[in-house]
């Protein structure tokens, strides 16, 4: 299975440096001014049938202290949907880095990603988004990625169990992030998109770095 034009479009929309400046100015009590990098990994990590992005973010007041490093693997769906349902076209698998510090800052310094191998990653089994595509009135595409209702995206970090709710909507002109941290015991949201999604605009386009 080769990379379809639609999957490459999804990766193209996601690849870049993003900023939520307008939102942070309008509502600073709830939205930190963030910089988000989603950088293509410069070589195939999991074969020729997927595209992989390295993601991290930082407060604009301290760009050197990037956090939440993760890998996003974009793939076409191969399993059938439920009877009568239109299955999602793509999935996004999330991975943790075994040594996050070794790749901190790779959003700004992509050469750090050249040595990345699958053995440096841990796949997070409950952290898989299903992605659907819609056509907009102008003829372009829009993608929505959500966690299945029964999924719990949990992982161990610094000796504690962490849970996150993941999701995004992306088009050619904006990226909406629905990511939230969740208390795994109570299910209550702790941080992130508590009042609504973070609204990012692309400052730099990294689509030219996607693997052929």
Say if CB 31 and CB 24 are below 8 A apart: yes
The pLDDT assigned to 19 comes to 98
Instruction: Decide: 182 and 192 in contact? Cβ < 8 Å.
Output: no
Is residue 79 very low, low, confident or very high in pLDDT (cuts 50, 70, 90)? Answer: low
For residue 21, give the nearest of 8, 9, 34 by alpha carbon. 34
pLDDT value of residue 47: 86
Identify the bridge partners of residue 37 per DSSP, sorted by sequence position.
17, 56
Nearest to 55 by CA among 181, 185, 179, 154: 179
**pLDDT beyond 50 at 15:** yes
Main-chain phi, psi angles of 114, to 5 degrees: -65, -30
Listing DSSP states for 107-151 in one string gives: TT-GGGGGG--GGGEEEEEEEEEEEEEEE-TTS-EEEEEE--TT-
- The SS3 assignment for 198 reads strand
Whole-model pTM: value is 0.92
Domains of the chain are 5-203 (2.40.128.590)
Q: What is the pLDDT of residues 80-105, one digit of tens each?
A: 454 445 567 899 999 999 999 999 99
At 134-186, the pLDDT tens digits run 999 898 999 999 999 889 999 887 778 889 999 999 999 999 999 999 998 89
């Amino acid at each position: 299975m080769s990379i379809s034009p639609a999957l490459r479009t999804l990766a193209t929309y996601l690849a870049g440096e993003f900023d939520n400046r307008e939102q942070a100015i309008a509502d600073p009590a709830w939205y930190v001014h963030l910089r988000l990098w989603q950088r293509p990994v410069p070589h195939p990590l999991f074969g020729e049938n997927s595209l992989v992005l390295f993601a991290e973010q930082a407060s604009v007041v301290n760009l050197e202290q990037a956090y939440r490093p993760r890998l996003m693997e974009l793939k076409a769906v191969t399993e059938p949907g439920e009877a009568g349902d239109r299955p999602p076209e793509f999935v996004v698998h999330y991975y943790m880095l075994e040594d996050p510090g070794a790749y901190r800052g790779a959003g700004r310094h992509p050469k750090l990603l050249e040595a990345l191998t699958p053995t440096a990653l841990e796949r997070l089994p409950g952290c898989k988004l299903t992605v659907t595509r819609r056509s907009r009135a102008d003829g372009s595409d829009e993608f929505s990625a959500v966690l299945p209702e029964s999924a719990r995206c949990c992982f161990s970090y610094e000796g504690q169990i962490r849970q996150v709710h993941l999701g995004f909507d992306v088009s050619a002109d904006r990226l909406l992030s629905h990511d939230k941290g969740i208390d795994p015991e109570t299910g209550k949201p702790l941080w992130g998109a508590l009042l609504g999604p973070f609204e990012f605009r692309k400052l730099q386009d990294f689509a030219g770095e996607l693997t052929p």
